[in-house]
A and B are shown apart, each in its own frame.
Chain A
Amino acid sequence: MRISLRKNLYLRAALLTLILIAGMIIAVGFGSIKIETAAVIDEFANYLRGLKTDSPNAMIIFDIRIPRILFAAISGAILSLTGMLMQTVSQNYLADPYILGVSSGAGMGAVFCIITGAAQIFAPYGVYVGAFFGATLATVIVVRIAGTSNNPIKLVLIGMGISALFSAFTMLEIYGSKNEAQVRSAMFWLMGSFTGIQWAMVPITFAVLMMLMIFIWLFRHELDLILLGREEAQHLGLSTERMQQAVVLISSLAIAITVSIAGIIGFIGLVIPHIARFIGESRHAVMVWFTSLIGAVVMVWADVMARSMFSPEEVPIGILTACLGAPVFMQIINRQYKDS
């Protein structure tokens, strides 16, 4: 039997998984201190044999690089899946948490909580709570203003407005703050970064990713229907409104967690679902795997670039994804929305 990559979805998914795992191992070597892949594999082998080493390499690998790479992969998958959900619910392939202003909303909420001290009420999850309210607020505003408009550009423009507004609020909050220690840095909340990712942050993001994937898997057929058309879905007996509310809630939560930890990272949620549809197919049962795998692969490599382009200096990941993603965004608009 001849196995064809073109026909076999499982094979393509397996190949992507392999690329992801290999990429994550190779990525361990990159950074301000370069560690050869052979040395990385040595350290892994030692670890697996139970030999503890206190070499500087081991410390860099196990305490800094691995949690960071895991976080990059997980957050890449989360951002991509959230973008996919937003594109489905709005039936608009230009939707993305960054473009619709949801990430800015989360950033504003987080900063607000830190500066007003409200974060202490819900400690240690105060920042997450603030980000969640900000993200939900932004999403609700987008949905309210855009209504049932099926003009894809209108939704994007409203999102831009919301993004501008919330970014301005964030800067105002930071600017007005007397206590600089409360604010990590203005740039962090406007442009994301993976600096300072620790092991403790990995489980919570992984839980969010699992929640997203299970949600999409359970409702894969409902999401297919909505993507086909809201009216069509209603005629087939689906309550599209309830589905939309569930998506708003779950994507706000996902964005809140990633923005709280890594700041605003744009365009991943926009671009990755397009690639996933191209390599996989449009059904959500397939999209959930391809979107998360490709999102993880791209983010791991984007992070490698961010760490090594101007080594030992580091480029914030948000700037890098914007540099790569913005031209793709413009290209999508140019190709899909020709003047009639």
Chain B
Amino acid sequence: MNIIEVKSLSYAINGKKILDNVNAVFAEGKITAIIGANGSGKSTLMSFLSKTRRSANAVYFRGQDVDKISAEHYALQVSVLPQRQKMVADFRVEDVVLMGRFPYKKKFRDYTAEDRKISRRAMESVGIIDMAKRKLSQMSGGEIQRVLIAKALAQEPELILMDEPTNHLDVKYKLALMKTLRAYGKTVIIVLHDLSLAIQYCDAVVVMVAGKVLTQGKTAEIMQPALLEKIFGVPFVKFERDGRTYINY
């Protein structure tokens, strides 16, 4: 079963094609990585999946055109972790995570005890429960990233969209994040630069080159040195150790 299907999606800015007839499917309950060189259209594709851009009948969520799904309703099923933007707000960690419950909140009302319980659980799952009272201004980029990840989890979505979430994270937290996503058990679509993470934690891979989907399929079949060399222009080696697969350049 596919949770999201992209059918013949093209997109251009000032005549320059950013996405060129993209077709892709994302399987329910799986973690799918989108990989590709800089400027290959990964983030743009994500912006269509997250409903940031109107898709003109090209993106379907469980068979329904996403343009026809209201933002309120979509937020109940899909949570989005965009590439980090500059933030001025100096909220406490627990308040930010609680905002993930906004789609469930009744108008003009406060968040419920249930909402607080769920957001506490989300903070525990990314290991920031001890920082709950701290303010964002007292935190590092990586810590803030984990707060936003907790917020995405508190949203209890069927699908999580993440654009390079590992960017600000130490190795330890990169691995912890991928494990958390695995444990969450729902569908995840994630733009990744770290190919080793993709090969270890993702079920499927979509490979983008110059606005097109070059290929997509099961991770083990796609992540071959020959193909990666073609995409990124540098030689790759793939090796196994203790039953795990690694890829390096």
Contact residues of A with B, CB < 8 Å? 91-93, 150, 218, 221, 224-225, 227-229, 231-232, 234-239, 277, 281-283
Alpha-carbon distance A228/B99, docked complex (angstroms): 9
Alpha-carbon distance A238/B101, docked complex (angstroms): 12
Within 8 A of A (CB), among B122-149: none
In the bound complex, do residue B82 and residue A277 qualify as a contact, i.e. CB atoms below 8 Å apart?
A: no
In the bound complex, do residue A227 and residue B102 qualify as a contact, i.e. CB atoms below 8 Å apart?
A: no
CB closest chain-A residue, reference B71:
A237
Additional A-B contacts beyond A221-B110, A277-B90 (15; CB < 8 A): A91-B88, A91-B89, A224-B99, A227-B88, A227-B89, A228-B87, A228-B89, A231-B52, A232-B82, A235-B50, A235-B79, A236-B99, A237-B70, A237-B71, A281-B91
* Subset of 23 A-B contacts with CB under 8 Å: A91-B89, A150-B85, A218-B108, A221-B99, A224-B95, A225-B99, A227-B89, A229-B87, A231-B85, A232-B82, A234-B52, A235-B80, A235-B82, A236-B102, A236-B155, A237-B70, A237-B72, A237-B73, A238-B71, A238-B102, A281-B92, A282-B90, A283-B95
Alpha-carbon distance A281/B91, docked complex (angstroms): 7
- B76 contacts which chain A residues (CB < 8 A)? 237
Known: A221-B102, A224-B91, A281-B92. A234 touches B71 (CB 8 A): yes
In the bound complex, do residue B108 and residue A237 qualify as a contact, i.e. CB atoms below 8 Å apart?
A: no
Alpha-carbon distance A150/B86, docked complex (angstroms): 9
Alpha-carbon distance A321/B114, docked complex (angstroms): 46
In the bound complex, do residue B103 and residue A236 qualify as a contact, i.e. CB atoms below 8 Å apart?
A: yes
Alpha-carbon distance A92/B95, docked complex (angstroms): 20
The reply on B74 being an interface residue by CB < 8 A is: yes
The 10 closest A-B pairs by CB, nearest first: A237-B75, A237-B72, A235-B80, A227-B89, A236-B102, A237-B71, A237-B103, A282-B90, A282-B91, A236-B75
CB closest chain-A residue, reference B148:
A232
The reply on B96 being an interface residue by CB < 8 A is: yes
In the bound complex, do residue A236 and residue B100 qualify as a contact, i.e. CB atoms below 8 Å apart?
A: yes
- A236 contacts which chain B residues (CB < 8 A)? 75, 99-100, 102-103, 155
In this complex, which of B82, B91, B99, B102 has the most chain A Cβ atoms within 10 angstroms of its Cβ?
Answer: B102
In the bound complex, do residue A92 and residue B71 qualify as a contact, i.e. CB atoms below 8 Å apart?
A: no
- B80 contacts which chain A residues (CB < 8 A)? 235
- B79 contacts which chain A residues (CB < 8 A)? 235
Alpha-carbon distance A49/B80, docked complex (angstroms): 64
In the bound complex, do residue B91 and residue A231 qualify as a contact, i.e. CB atoms below 8 Å apart?
A: no
In the bound complex, do residue A229 and residue B85 qualify as a contact, i.e. CB atoms below 8 Å apart?
A: yes
The reply on B105 being an interface residue by CB < 8 A is: yes
- A93 contacts which chain B residues (CB < 8 A)? 88
In the bound complex, do residue A221 and residue B88 qualify as a contact, i.e. CB atoms below 8 Å apart?
A: no
- B130 shortest CB reach to chain A, Å: 18
Alpha-carbon distance A225/B102, docked complex (angstroms): 9
In this complex, which of A221, A224, A235, A281 has the most chain B Cβ atoms within 10 angstroms of its Cβ?
Answer: A235
- A224 contacts which chain B residues (CB < 8 A)? 89, 91, 95, 99
- A238 contacts which chain B residues (CB < 8 A)? 71, 102
- A116 shortest CB reach to chain B, Å: 41
- A282 contacts which chain B residues (CB < 8 A)? 89-91, 95
- A277 contacts which chain B residues (CB < 8 A)? 90
- B111 contacts which chain A residues (CB < 8 A)? 221
- B219 shortest CB reach to chain A, Å: 27
- B73 contacts which chain A residues (CB < 8 A)? 237
- A158 shortest CB reach to chain B, Å: 18
- A228 contacts which chain B residues (CB < 8 A)? 87, 89, 91, 96, 99
Alpha-carbon distance A228/B79, docked complex (angstroms): 15
- B85 contacts which chain A residues (CB < 8 A)? 150, 229, 231
- B182 shortest CB reach to chain A, Å: 23
Alpha-carbon distance A231/B52, docked complex (angstroms): 8
Alpha-carbon distance A229/B102, docked complex (angstroms): 14
Alpha-carbon distance A235/B73, docked complex (angstroms): 10
- B100 shortest CB reach to chain A, Å: 7
- B92 contacts which chain A residues (CB < 8 A)? 281
- B177 shortest CB reach to chain A, Å: 18
In the bound complex, do residue A239 and residue B71 qualify as a contact, i.e. CB atoms below 8 Å apart?
A: yes
- A225 contacts which chain B residues (CB < 8 A)? 99, 102
- B61 shortest CB reach to chain A, Å: 14
Indicate with 1 or 0, residue by residue over B59-84, a CB within 8 angstroms of chain A CB atoms.
Answer: 00000000000111111100110100
Known: A218-B108, A224-B95, A229-B85. A235 touches B75 (CB 8 A): yes
Alpha-carbon distance A283/B73, docked complex (angstroms): 25
- B88 contacts which chain A residues (CB < 8 A)? 91-93, 227
Alpha-carbon distance A239/B70, docked complex (angstroms): 10
CB closest chain-B residue, reference A152:
B88
